[in-house]
Amino acid sequence: MARKDYLTYTARDFALDEDFQQWVLQPSTRNVFWERWLQQHPEKENDVREARQLLEGISFTPYQLSTGEKEQLWTAICGGLEEEESLTPASTRSHWRQLWKYAAVLLLGMLLAGGWFWWKEEHKPTIVSAHTRLGEVKTLLLPDSSEVTLNANSRLLYATSGKQREVWLDGEAFFHVKHTASHQKFIVHTYENVNVEVLGTQFNVNSAGKEVIVVLQQGKILLNIEGRNTSMALQPGEIVRYNKQDGDFTKSSVNANQYVSWHNGRLVMDDYSLADAAVFMQQVFGKTIIVPDTQLLKYKVSGSMPIIYNADTMLVQLEKVFRMKFNQKGDEVWIQKK
C-alpha cells in the first residue's frame, strides 16, 4: 500500500481514501498498517473515528458478491463521472473527482442494501452532483423534475436506483419534491444521522452550523434520527432542531417563511437578532462576526430585505438595519454601538 501523509488528513480526507475505505468496509480482512498507524498517532483518533462513522453510516447489509459482480457495480457507478465531467466547468473538476469517489462508496452501499444480486445496464442509477461557493446560490432541476435550491458553501449528491431517490446534503438546501407515479420515496441524508423522508412536498434542510434544522413549508415529511430509534412526522409550519454535539432535539411551530425565504432571494427577519445575522454571514460569506459587548447579540429587528450575494453590500445593509458600527478586517467583522 502506498504511504501517504495521513497526518495532514481530515475526517473527510480519510473517508475519501480508498485504502481507508477498504479497512473500514471490509473488517474481515485485517489491515496491520492502520492498526499500527493508529497506535503511533493517537492524536488522529478523533478524525479516524469520525471518518469511520461517516462510512459506516451507509448501513450495509451482509451480502456476498463475487469479485466480478463487485467490479461491475463499481464500473457502472463510476462510469457516471464521464457524463458529469462534460457538464462541469474545468475549474471544479478536480474537486468533484474526489467527491465522486465518495459518491461511489455511498451508492455501492445503497445498491447492496437494496439486495442487488446482479447488475444490468438498464438499472444504472441516475447521479447528479452540485456544489456552491461562498456567496453563491444555485437552483437545480433534478432528473425526477424535483427542484432544489442550494445555498452558499453547500454540497449535494443525488442518486436514484429505481425504488427510491436519495440525496446526501452538506450545507443548506430548499427542496420542492415532485411526486412520482411509482410513489418513489425521496430521502435526504445529512452527515449528522438525520434523514428526511418524503413523497412530494416543500421543505428546508440546513446542516451548516451547530444544529441540523429541518423546516416544513408544505406537505408532510417523516424525520428519522439514526442511533436514537427516533422518528417523527412534521406538519407545515413545524421545525426540528437537532444538536450535533449532544444529539438532543426539539420540535416546535414557527413561521416557515422566515427559514425558507432565502431561496427566493429575501431575508425575512421576525425577531431577528444580531446573533442570527452573525450565523447568516458566516454560513453564506465565511465572515466571522466579533462583538465585544455580547449583550448586543440579543438586539432584535423585524422586517425583510433582499439578499445581495456580495458580502460588502450585505454588511452595509445589516449595519443600517441594526444601527450599529461594522468594521471589517479581512474575514472578520467587528461590531459595536455607534
pLDDT digits (tens, 9 = 90+) for 79-137: 443 444 333 333 333 343 444 444 555 555 544 444 433 344 444 556 777 889 999 99
CATH for the 265-337 domain, from 3.40.50.620, 3.30.1160.10, 3.55.50.30, 1.10.10.10: 3.55.50.30
The SS3 of residue 4 is: coil
Quick one: pLDDT band at residue 32, thresholds 50, 70, 90? confident
Secondary element (H or E) of residue 240: strand 238-243
Q: Kindly report, residue by residue over 139-192, the tens digit of the pLDDT.
A: 988 888 899 999 999 988 888 866 788 898 889 999 999 888 888 889 998 876
Q: State how beta strands 332-337 and 288-290 pair.
A: parallel
Residue spans per domain, the chain: 6-56, 125-258, 265-337
Q: What is d(CA 4, CA 44) in angstroms, rounded to the nearest whole number?
A: 14
Q: What is d(CA 215, CA 186) in angstroms, rounded to the nearest whole number?
A: 16
pLDDT at residue 285, as a whole number: 95
Which segments of 149-268 does DSSP mark as H helices, in order? 256-260
Q: State how beta strands 164-170 and 185-190 pair.
A: parallel
What DSSP letter does each residue of 188-214 carry, written as one string? EEETTSEEEEESS-EEEEE-SSSEEEE
pLDDT at residue 47, as a whole number: 87
pLDDT at residue 3, as a whole number: 60
Question: Which residues are registered as beta bridge partners of 222?
Answer: 197, 233
Region of poorest pLDDT, from 53-57, 217-221, 258-262: 53-57
Q: Is the pLDDT of residue 299 over 60?
A: yes
Please, what is the average pLDDT of the chain?
A: 78
pLDDT at residue 68, as a whole number: 55
Quick one: pLDDT band at residue 18, thresholds 50, 70, 90? low
CATH topology (fold) of 125-258:
Jelly Rolls (2.60.120)
pLDDT at residue 277, as a whole number: 95
Share of the chain above pLDDT 90, in %: 40
**Topology alike, domains 125-258 and 265-337:** no
Handedness of CA 75, 78, 82, 87 (dihedral sign): positive
pLDDT at residue 307, as a whole number: 93
Which segments of the chain does DSSP mark as H helices, in order? 11-16, 18-25, 32-40, 45-56, 67-85, 90-113, 256-260, 274-285, 311-322
Region of poorest pLDDT, from 1-15, 104-118, 135-149, 195-209: 104-118
Q: Is the pLDDT of residue 41 over 50?
A: yes
Q: Kindly report, residue by residue over 223-232, the tens digit of the pLDDT.
A: 888 777 788 8
Residues whose CB is less than 8 angstroms from the CB of residue 182 and which lie 6 or more positions away in sequence, other chains included = none
